[in-house]
Chains A and B, each alone.
Chain A
């Protein structure tokens, strides 16, 4: 069996994180969650992950500020931006900053899971270990 995909959810909406973690956990992912950029950095310091699901609008450090730091802390992880912020500008800034994909909230769990698997597979294809 393939290794489970390790996901880190970074979002300031507590309930959103919790339920997403529950759902992904039930579907075979290994999930950790952080409520802010700094908390995510701390978790990445403990162990790497495969895919980071990153919110944009968070108090303190925004997703855009956190993106380069997260990528530096865990270069092998792909970043999937998931936000309620409907702005093309932000999407393109995040993609230019190295995010792998951009999804808009609300997003059906199936679609989100598909996107996580897709960026993970793409990474496996381009960076074979």
Chain B
């Protein structure tokens, strides 16, 4: 069996001490040519000898060159493995520092609430009646912070799920509508209208419907949070360059140019602590990529944002 290259400990690459190429590019053809020329003028027996000599030189040279090409390819592959390895390490580092921060904050609150509740309980475990409400408040807060941690770990588990998309034919409009009705009531409560602009001629797509629903819901929720009273969210579909395109447009606050490249990063959020995990868009981006499409964002501060999902048809 072919041993897998061990990605955690790739050995040092051989240094750049390759032998020179000129014996193969100049000397060998030169010698072979000279032998052939002399063979033309020499008596037949010597001619055959010289031709054989020329052939031997060519074969030897070709073998050496082939070996070197193969070694070059192998080194390139090793380099690839190394690069991937270091990228993976960087990604893990970034992700774990993000997770640590997001979990440590609720844990810090829990720690303090417990400390305070213990103190209010007093030495003899018999709290003063006027402290009981505070103790209950501490316990409630512990519950809230635990829920916050769960939200983060559960969303993270979505990343870990390696599930293969299960493809089925479905009208894109239907997938979007399913999610639109979910948020419509809350949107109406906030004074935000949801408009539709569907391309009726779009054929059904073959996609993983539950995954795509999750993406749409994330985009819709974000749009709703960004849009003030009186604003509009527009859901549109169209066909572009042989792909099905979904747009979620809003007339919300927009995203400053310096934040735009970061919105797909895990844990990037501008929402208050505990309000947003910053995982919605990075999850959605991952899902759309798995469905063979891509998710992009455009935005103008004060005007609004457009999130575009394009899927293969």
Residues of A within 8 A of B (CB): 12-16, 19-20, 22-23, 26, 57, 59, 83-87, 104-110
Contacts and interface: CB of A to CB of B under 8 A. Distances in A.
B276 to A, nearest CB: 11
Given A23-B119, A26-B119, A16 B104 contact: no
B100 A84 contact: yes
B112 A16 contact: yes
Contacts of A84: 100-105, 107-108
B273 interface: yes
Contacts of B102: 84
A92 B69 CA distance: 48
Given A84-B100, A86-B97, A109 B105 contact: no
Interface string B112-145: 1101100100000000000000000010010000
Contacts of A59: 270
Contacts of B104: 84-86, 104-106
A23 B116 contact: yes
A15 B108 CA distance: 10
Contacts of A87: 97
A107 B114 CA distance: 12
Contact of B112 (A12, A14, A109): A109
A26 B112 CA distance: 13
Contacts of A106: 104, 107-108, 110-111
Contacts of B274: 13
A86 B100 contact: yes
B109 A13 contact: yes
Interface of B is mostly: helix
B272 interface: yes
Interface residues on chain B, size class: 20 to 34
A82 B100 CA distance: 14
A108 B101 contact: no
Contacts of A20: 112
8 closest cross-chain pairs (CB), A and B: A84-B104, A105-B108, A106-B108, A106-B107, A106-B111, A109-B115, A19-B112, A84-B101
A83 to B, nearest CB: 8
Contacts of A85: 97, 100-101, 104
Nearest to A82: B108
Given A23-B112, A86-B101, A105 B273 contact: no
Contacts of B109: 13, 15-16, 19
B272 A12 contact: yes
B130 to A, nearest CB: 14
Contacts of A105: 104-105, 107-108
Contacts of B272: 12
A57 B101 contact: yes
B115 A16 contact: no
Contacts of A12: 272-273
Nearest to B93: A87
Given A13-B109, A23-B116, A84-B105, 7 more contacts: A12-B273, A19-B113, A83-B101, A84-B108, A85-B100, A86-B97, A105-B105
Contacts of B108: 13, 16, 84, 105-107
B147 to A, nearest CB: 13
Contacts of B105: 13, 16, 84, 105
Contacts of A19: 109, 112-113, 116, 138, 141
